[in-house]
């Protein structure tokens, strides 16, 4: 039997902080504060129609792609016990083949980790620990993202960006938004949008050129002490990649140690039953 010290619990929180989706990670952050994770009432949303149009155009671009790859430069704040925010960083490479294949590799200050999702199975590997974990999952990306966040408190990298409908995913908890103005990200002319959600403020820069793709994403976690920030800058979009099946096949060292994921949902159910 695998001991608790060999269980993927700390690693999953590190994974989430590095990959940081919008909606799901928002719920996790709020749950850490002891609040509920129910749906957000957006009936009184105040969203600038132009912001709606730009975001929807970006979503349509991503939704229409069967296969795509992109790179991301990521920085995210880690709150130390002293309350001081320390910025960590890394690079993320993401490969998507709809409806049920994702590969991602993150090389960061803390460690290097990879995720292979190939429809019904997900493998997660931490290089510097030489640990890996595997799960049986649903057979499409959207359902797998819901399954992972509901049961294990983590998600596929940049989950809302690779969702089949990014607009619907990010707007689920968004309360308001507006166009900040024109901006330049890495030499690319973009439209800068800002949004407010129940637990975060977030911004996104969308390319003014066709196709409309995300250039940068910033999230401020307003319900967490110190308001830590996550930033992802996108580059090297390829909407017509030549992908092989081996891309989504786990490539693990022979001496890698298999460890278990903690199912937080089941743990909570057990705790609730014990309290009765």
87-145 pLDDT, tens per residue? 999 999 999 999 999 999 999 998 899 999 999 899 999 999 999 999 999 999 999 99
User: Has residue 4 been placed in a domain?
Assistant: no
Residue 38 lies in a domain: no
Question: Vertex 161, ends 155 and 86: CA angle to 5°?
Answer: 60
Residue 190 lies in a domain: yes
Residue 270 covered by a domain: no
In a domain, 152, yes or no: yes
pLDDT, tens digit, for every residue of 134-160? 999 999 999 999 999 888 888 787 999
Number of separate domains in the chain: 1
- What was the pLDDT predicted at 152? 85
Backbone angles phi, psi at 174, to 5 degrees: -80, 135
pLDDT at 184: 97
Which parts of the chain have pLDDT scores under 50? Answer: 1-44, 270-276
In the prediction, which pLDDT does 269 show? 52
pTM of the full predicted structure? 0.83
Sign of CA dihedral 169, 174, 179, 184: negative
Examine residue 256 and state whether it is found in any structural domain, yes or no. Answer: yes
Q: Where are the alpha helices (DSSP H) in 75-174?
A: 141-152, 159-162, 166-171
- State which residues form the domain around 141: 17-33+43-264
- What is the length of the chain? 276
At residue 28, the pLDDT reads 40
- Residue 8 resides in a domain: no
Residue 154 lies inside a defined structural domain of this protein: yes
CATH number at residue 218: 2.50.20.10
């Amino acid at each position: 039997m695998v001991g608790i010290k060999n269980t993927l619990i700390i690693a999953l929180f590190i994974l989430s902080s590095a990959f940081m989706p919008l909606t799901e990670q928002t719920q996790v952050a709020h749950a850490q504060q002891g609040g509920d994770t129910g749906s957000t009432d957006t009936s009184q949303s105040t969203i600038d129609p132009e912001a709606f149009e730009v975001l929807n155009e970006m979503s349509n671009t991503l939704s229409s792609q069967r296969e795509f790859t992109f790179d991301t430069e990521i920085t995210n704040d880690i709150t130390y016990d002293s309350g001081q925010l320390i910025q960590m960083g890394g690079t993320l490479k993401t490969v998507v083949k709809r409806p049920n294949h994702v590969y991602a590799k993150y090389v960061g200050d803390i460690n290097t980790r990879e995720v292979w999702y190939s429809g019904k199975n997900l493998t997660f590997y931490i290089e510097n620990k030489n640990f890996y974990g595997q799960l049986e999952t649903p057979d499409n990306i959207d359902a797998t993202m819901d399954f992972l966040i509901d049961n294990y408190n983590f998600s596929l990298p940049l989950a809302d960006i690779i969702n089949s409908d990014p607009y619907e995913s990010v707007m689920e908890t968004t309360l308001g938004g507006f166009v900040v103005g024109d901006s330049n990200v890495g030499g690319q002319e973009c439209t800068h949008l800002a949004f407010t959600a129940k637990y975060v403020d977030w911004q996104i820069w969308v390319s003014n050129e066709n196709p409309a793709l995300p250039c940068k994403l910033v999230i401020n976690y307003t319900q967490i002490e110190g308001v830590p920030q996550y930033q992802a800058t996108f580059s090297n979009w390829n909407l017509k990649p030549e992908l092989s099946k081996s891309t989504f096949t786990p490539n693990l060292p022979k001496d890698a140690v298999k460890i278990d994921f903690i199912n937080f949902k089941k743990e909570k159910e057990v705790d609730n039953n014990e309290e009765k």
